[in-house]
């Protein structure tokens, strides 16, 4: 993801780890949690992406470099290990798809890759997404400064979602490339959707790393299928308050079918059976500015999930640092404490939680 989310999340690092430990005991039992939020797995190291198939969940533990399988109520078991910062995971017909985040520099090993793995077969690199960015530059922005250094993240895959039905493609939200990419079974990569630079509200006239493109880069972060067959994409929009968006795309050609705005730095998306759009706001409630938070600040209070019903009404559930979302079996699931290890020095506090309807309270202001 762009440097903006990293720098903003670092504000949390100044919070007292004692506060976090008190808010979420390291050995909290599955099933405990705030009203309407049920813990189904814990002990995870920075859980980012979340997937499900056949009643089992799969989570990308970014700091541990692992993909773990979870049976609700059971102990997570490592399915795959040895990745360089896995950020997204999905599973289709027994095959796991994993994306690893930004390589430190072009040509560095392990990062900006799409992997596939099927039980009993060796994992393989399906696509080199950094190579695609360098060769194609989907958003058309300047990649390097006059000194040859990258002006911003080049390729930073953050979410992956397999096609549905007979669609054999795999979709990747590349937060560095500012694009949603489609990868075919042979590994051929193509640009599926490039969300526009945001130029409204707090993004109007904002300097960008590329002077030809003022405003906030959209930065795709999450992917989900809706019951309408559309592909939903959450976009960060430079963390500008109220300027985050979710796009509903035609699954065939990537054209925009619908757009929902009014989010702040969304990091994940899911869609309910009735069309309700759920968006995770990882850093909602984090102290503003670069200085340390108040002494009594509780980092467990950071984060929420916003629900937008088909009639446009909005509600929110307080979930600590949510990131990856998945709606399955009539329920919404989310990762929680997703950056507790990375930014707070508290590894092993990550969770997967079920968020029931009772956890949501109405929001009066869509951008609040």
- Per-residue model confidence as pLDDT tens digits over 18-33: 344 434 444 344 455 5
* Per-residue pLDDT at 173 exceeds 90: yes
* Tens digits of residue pLDDT in 258-275: 999 999 999 999 999 999
Q: Is the pLDDT of residue 178 over 70?
A: yes
Residue 334 has pLDDT above 90, yes or no: yes
Measure the CA angle with vertex 358, ends 241 and 356; round to 5°.
Answer: 85
- Reported residue count of the chain is 368
5, pLDDT greater than 60:
no
Q: In sequence order, what are the beta bridge partners of 355?
A: 37, 332
pLDDT band at 48 (very low <50, low <70, confident <90, very high): very high
Selection from 305, 304, 139, 159 nearest residue 216 by Cα: 139
Look over the chain and give the mean of its residue pLDDT values, rounded to a whole number: 88
Every domain of the chain and the residues it spans: 3-363
Q: Which helix H or strand E contains 6, and what residues bound it?
A: helix 3-9
pLDDT tens digits along 183-195: 999 999 999 999 9
What percent of the chain lies above the pLDDT cut of 90? 70
- Calculate mean pLDDT across residues 74-95: 93
On the question of pLDDT at 106 being above 60, the answer is no
Two tokens, residue 227: 């019951």
More confident residue, 153 or 218: 218
Query: What does the pLDDT average to over 163-180?
Result: 96
How confident is the model at residue 29, as a pLDDT?
Answer: 44
| Cα–Cα distance measured from residue 324 to residue 266, given in angstroms and rounded to the nearest whole number | 10
Least-confidence region, from 59-68, 98-107, 317-326, 345-354: 98-107
- Per-residue model confidence as pLDDT tens digits over 294-331: 778 888 899 999 999 999 999 999 999 999 999 999 99
Mean pLDDT of all residues in 271-292: 89
Where does 263-355 have alpha helices with state H?
Answer: 340-344
Q: Is 252 exposed, middle or buried (0-12, 13-18, 19+ CB in 10 A)?
A: exposed
pLDDT band at 10 (very low <50, low <70, confident <90, very high): very low
The predicted pLDDT at position 365 comes to 58
Buried-state track 260-279, b at ≥16 Cβ within 10 A, e below 16: bbbbbbbbbbbbbeeebbbb
- The CATH code that applies to domain 3-363 is 2.120.10.30
Give one DSSP letter per residue of 260-277, joined into a string. EEEESSEEEEEE-TTS-E
pLDDT at 252: 96
**Residues whose CB falls within 8 Å of the CB of residue 231, separated by 6 or more in sequence, listed in order:** 161, 171, 180, 223, 224, 225, 248, 249, 250, 251, 254
pLDDT(356) > 70: yes
Query: For residue 256, is pLDDT > 70?
Result: yes
pLDDT of residue 137: 96
pTM over 0.85? The answer is: yes
Confidence of residue 74 (pLDDT cuts 50, 70, 90): confident
């Amino acid at each position: 993801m762009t440097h903006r989310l990293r720098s903003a999340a670092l504000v949390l690092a100044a919070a007292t780890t004692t506060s976090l430990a008190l808010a979420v005991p390291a050995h909290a039992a599955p099933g405990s949690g705030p009203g309407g939020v049920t813990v189904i797995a814990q002990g995870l190291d920075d859980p980012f992406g979340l997937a499900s198939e056949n009643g089992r969940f799969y989570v990308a533990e970014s700091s541990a470099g692992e993909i773990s399988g979870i049976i609700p109520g059971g102990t997570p078991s490592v399915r795959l290990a040895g990745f360089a910062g896995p950020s997204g995971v999905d599973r289709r017909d027994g095959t796991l798809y994993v994306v690893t985040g930004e390589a430190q520099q072009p040509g560095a090993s392990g990062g900006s890759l799409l992997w596939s793995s099927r039980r009993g077969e060796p994992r393989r690199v399906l696509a080199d997404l950094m190579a695609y960015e360098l060769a194609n530059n989907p958003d058309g922005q300047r990649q390097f400064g006059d000194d040859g250094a990258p002006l911003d993240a080049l390729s930073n895959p953050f979410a992956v979602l397999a096609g549905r039905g007979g669609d054999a493609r795999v979709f990747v939200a590349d937060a560095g490339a500012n694009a949603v990419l489609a990868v075919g079974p042979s590994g051929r990569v193509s640009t599926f959707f490039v969300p526009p630079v945001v130029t409204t509200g707090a993004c109007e006239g904002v300097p960008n790393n590329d002077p030809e493109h003022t405003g906030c880069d959209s930065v795709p972060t999450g992917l989900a299928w809706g019951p309408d067959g559309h592909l939903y994409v959450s976009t960060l929009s430079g963390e500008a308050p109220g300027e985050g968006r979710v796009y509903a795309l035609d699954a065939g050609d990537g054209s925009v079918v619908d757009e929902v705005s009014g989010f702040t730095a969304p990091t994940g998306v899911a869609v309910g059976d009735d069309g309700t759009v759920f968006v995770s706001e990882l850093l909602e409630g984090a102290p503003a500015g670069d200085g340390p938070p108040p002494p009594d600040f509780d980092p467990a209070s950071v984060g929420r999930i916003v629900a937008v019903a088909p009639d446009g009404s909005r509600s929110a559930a307080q979930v600590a640092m949510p990131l990856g979302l998945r709606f399955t079996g009539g329920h919404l699931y989310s990762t929680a404490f997703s950056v507790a290890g990375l930014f707070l020095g508290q590894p092993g506090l990550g969770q997967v939680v079920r968020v029931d309807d009772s956890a949501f309270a109405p929001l009066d202001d869509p951008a609040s």
